[in-house]
Amino acid sequence: MKFLDLAKVYIRSGSGGNGCISFRREKYIEYGGPDGGDGGRGGDVVAEAVEGLNTLIDFRYQQHFFAKNGRPGQGAQRTGASGDDIVLRVPVGTEILDEDEETLLADLTEVGQRVMLGKGGNGGFGNLHFKTATNQAPRRANSGQPGVERTIWLRLKLIADAGLLGLPNAGKSTFLSATSNARPKIADYPFTTLHPNLGVVGVDGAEFVMADIPGLIEGASEGRGLGDLFLGHVERCAVLLHLVDGTSEDVAADYRTIIAELEAYGGDLAGKPRVTALNKIDALDDEERAEKKAALEVETGHPVMMMSGVSREGLTDVLRAVRAEITEDRLRLKKADEEPEQWQP
C-alpha cells in the first residue's frame, strides 16, 4: 500500500427538496384545503477518524464526495425523504484544512471523532405550512436550500510518541528495525527511506510508538530533499531522538544542520525534548569514540549517548532515555501475562 499524507478533495452537501403545492381533492369533500408536504433535508458531508488506516491513498483515486439531495414534498401531507449523508473515513491524526491550505478546520486525533464539513440544506415548506385563518388556500411553497460546496485539503500527521531525526544514512531505519518489529528498507545509499515508518518499541515493560521519517539535508526548509515534506509527522511526538552518524568527519556540523532545519521549519519542533545519540560506534575505536562524543557534547551542551544499531550496543540505554521523556498516559504498560516484544540483546 502506497503512502500518501496530503490529498485535495471536493465535497458538496445535499440540497433540500422543494416544498409541494397541493390541495386535497376527494369526492363529497367540498373544501379539502392545502395538503402539500415539506421537502426532505439534504445529506451532510462528515469526516470520521477510523482505525486501521495510516495513509490517505484512497483519496488519490476518488476526490469528489457528493451527498444525496432531499426529495421534494408530495400531496397528502407527505414530507420528502432526506438525502443520505456521506462519510469520509480518514486515519487518526488527519488535519482538515480549508482551500488556502492554512486555515485549520478540524484535527481528528481520536478514533471515532467526527466533524461536519458540509451541512445539508433544509427542505422547503409545502403550501400546508402557509395555511392561516385569512389565507386558507395558499398557493405558495418554498424551494429547498442549496447544499454547501467547497474544496478542502486532508493532511495526515501520524500519531507517534517519539520521532527519529538525522541526516540521510544516519542509521534511523536500522535503529527502528533493531528495536521493533518494523522492517523498513535499509541500504547503503542516501534517501533509502522515502516515506515515514512506524514501529512499536518496548523497554522495561512499557511500549511506545516511534516514527522514522526520511533524512533531512541542508536546505530542507527551502524544499531540498524529502525530509521537510514529512516533518509534520513528528510534530505530535513527545520527544525526538536525534541520531548522529559517528563515521562522519564532522559530527558537530551534522548536528548543527539538523537543528537549523528544525528552527527554520518553525512550530514547536525546535523546542521539543531531544535525546542525542552518537550512532555507528561499532565502526569506531575507543579513541575515536571519545573524541567525537566530546565534540558533540560541546556542540549540544548536554550529555550525548552512544549506540550502534548494528551491534545493538547501548540501545537499551537510549530507549530508556527516550521513555523517560514520554508521559505515562502515552505509554502502554505490559500486563504480567503478556510476552515481551522488545528486542533481545
Of the CA atoms within 13 Å of residue 223, those in its CB half-sphere come to 0
Amino acid letter for position 322: V
- The SS3 assignment for 52 reads coil
- d(CA 216, CA 244) in angstroms, rounded, equals 12
Alpha carbon of 62 to those of 10, 11, 230: distances in Å?
A: 9, 11, 23
The residue behind cell 531531544 is 274
DSSP code, position 59: H
* Binding site as annotated, residues for Mg(2+): 173, 193
* Binding site as annotated, residues for GTP: 166-173, 191-195, 212-215, 279-282, 308-310
336: its cell numbers: 504480567
* E strand spans, the chain: 6-12, 45-50, 64-66, 86-91, 94-97, 104-108, 114-118, 149-156, 162-165, 197-203, 206-212, 239-245, 274-279, 305-306, 332-333
Provide long-range contacts, Cβ within 8 A and 24+ apart, for 330-339: 330/161, 330/208, 330/238, 331/161, 331/206, 331/207, 331/208, 332/206, 332/207, 332/208, 333/205, 333/206, 333/207, 334/202, 334/205, 334/206, 334/207
321: its cell numbers: 532515555
Residue 219, sorted as left (phi over 0), alpha (psi -120 to 50) or beta, turns out to be left
DSSP code, position 234: G
Amino acid letter for position 272: K
* Binding site as annotated, residues: 166-173, 191-195, 212-215, 279-282, 308-310
Q: What is the dihedral of CA 250, 254, 255, 256, to 10 degrees?
A: 100
